[in-house]
C-alpha cells in the first residue's frame, strides 16, 4: 500500500495571496439545515464528543467564511464544547493553522474545504472536505477514447473524494484495471502522536509497478495535481475538471503550475546562492530539516 502526503508547493513570491480575488463558493448554505448537510455537522459533532474536546477552532477558507456562523451555531447545539471561528488565516488556507488555534487555547481544529493534507504536530484535526458534484457519465464518455484498455490510478482533489468509488465502478467497464485511491482521514479524525492514528494522505494499492498506470485526476488545476505529477511516475496523466467538464492530457505546456515549477527549478540550477525557506504554519518535523 502506498501513502502520499502532499505538502504545499510554494512557487511564487507571496504576491498572489495579496492580489487574488476571492469568489464565494457556489454551494453556500442558506439555512442551518443546509449547513448541517453540506458541512457534515453531525459527523463532526460525533468526533468532538468522542475526543472530549472542550475548545474547538473552526478554520474556513475565505470563500466559505459566509457559512461559518451557521456551521458554528449548528455545532454549538450538538456539543458541549466551546466553538469559535478562525478568520485570520491569510496564507496557505489549505494548511491547518495550529498557531492561530493555539492563540485561543483550542484543543482541536476542524478544517473545512481544500487541504494539502500536511501533517500537524500538536492539535487533533477533523477534516471536512465537502461534496462537490461530478458528472460521472460525462467523465466516462470523455475517458473512453483515451483510457480504453489502460491500467488507471484514480485520484482526486479532496472535495471530489466522495465520488471516487462510483467513478471507479463506471471506469471498470472501459479500462483494463482501475485502482481507486482513498484519503486516510476522510472518515476519522487525525490525532498527532496517537497509537495507530491514520495520517493525512492518499492511499492506494497497485497490482503492478506504478509506471504501468495512467493517472486520472478528478479536480481543477491546483498544487495538489502538480505535486502528484511530480512525485508519482505514471506513464501518463489526465485530469478531469468537474466545474468545466473538460478532460485534458497533463504536461508542462498546458499545466501552469507545473510549467512554473520547472521554470523555478531551472532558475535554481543557474543560481550561485540558494536560500531555503521552511514554512512552519503546520508542518511536522520541520526542525529536523
Question: 192 pLDDT exceeds 90?
Answer: no
Other residues' Cβ atoms within 10 Å of the Cβ of residue 209: 9
Contact call for residues 93 and 62 (beta carbons, < 8 A): yes
Mind listing the pLDDT tens digit for each residue in 57-91?
Answer: 999 988 888 899 999 999 999 999 999 999 766 56
Higher pLDDT, 4 or 116: 116
Mind listing the pLDDT tens digit for each residue in 144-173?
Answer: 999 999 999 999 999 999 999 999 999 999
Mind listing the pLDDT tens digit for each residue in 6-20?
Answer: 544 444 555 555 555
| pLDDT range class, residue 25, cuts 50, 70, 90 | low
What does the pLDDT average to over 39-66?
93
Length of the chain: 289
What are the residue ranges of helices labelled H in the chain? Answer: 15-19, 32-38, 41-51, 68-78, 98-103, 136-147, 164-171, 223-231, 256-270
Reduced to 3 states (helix: H, G, I; strand: E, B; else coil), residue 181 is coil
pLDDT at site 196: 76
Contact call for residues 202 and 161 (beta carbons, < 8 A): no
Global pTM value:
0.81
pLDDT at site 10: 44
Amino acid at each position: 500500500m502506498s501513502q502520499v502526503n502532499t505538502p504545499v508547493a510554494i512557487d511564487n513570491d507571496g504576491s498572489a495571496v495579496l492580489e487574488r480575488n476571492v469568489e464565494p463558493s457556489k454551494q453556500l448554505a442558506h439555512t442551518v439545515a443546509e449547513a448541517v448537510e453540506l458541512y457534515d455537522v453531525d459527523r463532526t459533532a460525533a468526533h468532538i464528543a468522542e475526543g472530549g474536546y472542550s475548545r474547538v477552532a473552526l478554520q474556513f477558507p475565505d470563500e466559505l467564511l459566509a457559512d461559518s456562523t451557521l456551521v458554528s451555531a449548528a455545532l454549538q447545539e450538538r456539543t458541549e464544547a466551546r466553538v469559535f471561528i478562525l478568520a485570520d488565516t491569510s496564507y496557505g488556507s489549505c494548511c491547518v493553522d495550529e498557531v492561530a488555534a493555539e492563540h485561543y487555547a483550542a484543543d482541536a481544529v476542524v478544517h473545512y474545504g481544500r487541504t494539502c493534507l500536511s501533517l500537524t504536530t500538536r492539535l487533533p484535526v477533523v477534516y471536512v472536505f465537502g461534496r462537490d458534484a461530478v458528472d460521472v457519465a460525462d467523465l466516462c464518455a470523455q475517458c473512453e477514447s483515451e483510457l480504453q484498455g489502460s491500467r488507471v490510478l484514480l485520484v482526486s482533489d479532496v472535495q471530489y473524494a466522495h465520488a471516487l468509488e462510483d467513478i471507479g465502478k463506471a471506469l471498470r467497464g472501459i479500462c483494463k484495471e482501475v485502482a481507486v485511491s482513498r484519503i486516510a482521514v476522510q472518515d476519522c479524525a487525525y490525532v498527532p502522536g496517537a497509537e495507530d492514528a491514520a495520517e493525512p494522505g492518499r492511499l492506494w494499492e497497485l497490482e503492478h509497478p506504478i509506471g504501468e498506470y495512467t493517472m486520472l485526476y478528478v479536480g481543477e488545476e491546483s498544487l495538489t495535481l502538480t505535486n502528484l505529477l511530480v512525485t508519482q511516475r505514471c506513464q501518463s496523466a489526465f485530469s478531469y475538471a468537474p466545474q468545466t467538464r473538460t478532460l485534458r492530457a497533463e504536461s508542462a505546456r498546458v499545466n501552469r503550475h507545473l510549467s512554473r515549477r520547472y521554470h523555478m527549478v531551472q532558475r535554481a540550477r543557474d543560481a550561485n546562492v540558494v536560500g531555503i525557506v521552511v514554512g512552519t504554519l503546520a508542518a511536522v518535523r520541520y526542525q529536523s530539516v
